[in-house]
Amino acid sequence: MKLLVMGPPGAGKGSQSKKLVEEYDLTSISTGEMFREAYKRGEKLGIEAMEYIKEGNLVDDDITNEIVYQRLKKKGPDSRFLLDGYPRTVKQAEALDKMLADIGSRLTAVINIVVDYDAILERMVGRRVCKSCSETYHTMFRPPNVEGVCDVCSGELYQREDDKPASVKNRLNIYESKTRPIIDYYKGRGVLVNINGMQSFEAVYSDIKRALRELRHD
Ligand SMILES: [Zn+2]
């Protein structure tokens, strides 16, 4: 099984992916992690990529494609994986198709978690995290007993920089302009599955599993 999970920031992509990786015994291929590792090893690709990441930009398509290709070649056509953070542009999606064809393979499914942007904004800007134990709260949906204080350890709650409205809006804009077009690219290729993300974690996960059962070829 070769999966790609898509959805805007805040759609719950990360936690759904984590559960899929565990249950279906997949390798998680994360470009962010591969770049950090290559950087630590002092490789040219890693050093170049870090320059983009430090500035908060998407890493150049050629650099990103190259690091994924190296990994896919090493794994071979029978590997089972879930792609995390890649592809992020249509150019990357096209390159991915070519790489997979090259090693005699193709994606099993592209899971698209569909959510309402206003709801995401509300969900993310209300999030508060404990400075001491990292417990997560929400000003509306899961408020602490005492405002600003962690129920678990009495630590101070704060709002992460990337949960602030301007940052969330910026990330949603980047997603809308650069990443969302990938969904159109996969439409009509028989691999795209739209999942309603405006439900509980469990309901979203069970919808994904049902869709995979219907699609599964390998
Ligand atoms: Zn705490």
Neighbours of 31 (CB within 10 A): 22
For the entire predicted model, the pTM comes to: 0.79
Domains and CATH numbers, the chain: 2-115+172-215 (3.40.50.300)
109 φ/ψ angles, rounded to the nearest 5 degrees: -155, 145
- Please report which confidence band the pLDDT of residue 218 belongs to, taking 50, 70 and 90 as the band edges: very low
Centroid of ligand 1 to alpha carbon of 150 (angstroms): 5
Centroid of ligand 1 to alpha carbon of 126 (angstroms): 17
20-23 long-range contacts, CB within 8 A, separation 24+: 20/82, 20/208, 21/82
- Catalytic residue set: 13, 88, 127, 160, 171
User: What would the pLDDT profile of 123-181 be if each residue is shown by its tens digit?
Assistant: 889 999 999 999 999 998 899 999 999 999 999 999 988 888 888 888 888 888 988 89
Sequential DSSP letters for 113-153: EE--HHHHHHHHHTEEEETTT--EEETTTB--SSTTB-TTT
